Amino acid sequence: MIKDDLSRIMAKKFNLSIAESKRIIDFNFDAIRKELKKNKRAEFRGFGTWHVVKNPSRVYQDKNGKIVTAPAYKRAIFRQSKNFFKK
């Protein structure tokens, strides 16, 4: 399912225009993104949790024997709820 599919289903169910439902979806994802940028968690009971994991920098040797340093980075992780498929 893509965002367009979700917005059409939402528009049909709640009698909204497709543009309105897309704005609601964008608002939800923007709120999640803002919380993750603050290194906080975004939790939806019964659905799942998003949180940020920091990966350290790594030093490794490439095929030619050169030493390469990969910088540290952050990534978002989603973990589904235990009750995700029960409903």
Q: What mean pLDDT, rounded, does the chain reach?
A: 92
- Residue 62 has a pLDDT of 86
Q: What is the pTM of this model?
A: 0.73
Q: Is the pLDDT of residue 76 over 70?
A: yes
Residues 6+ apart with CB under 8 A from 57: 69, 70, 71, 72
3-state secondary structure of 43: strand
- N-to-C CA span, the chain: 19
Region 18-38: what's the mean pLDDT?
94
Region 36-65: what's the mean pLDDT?
91
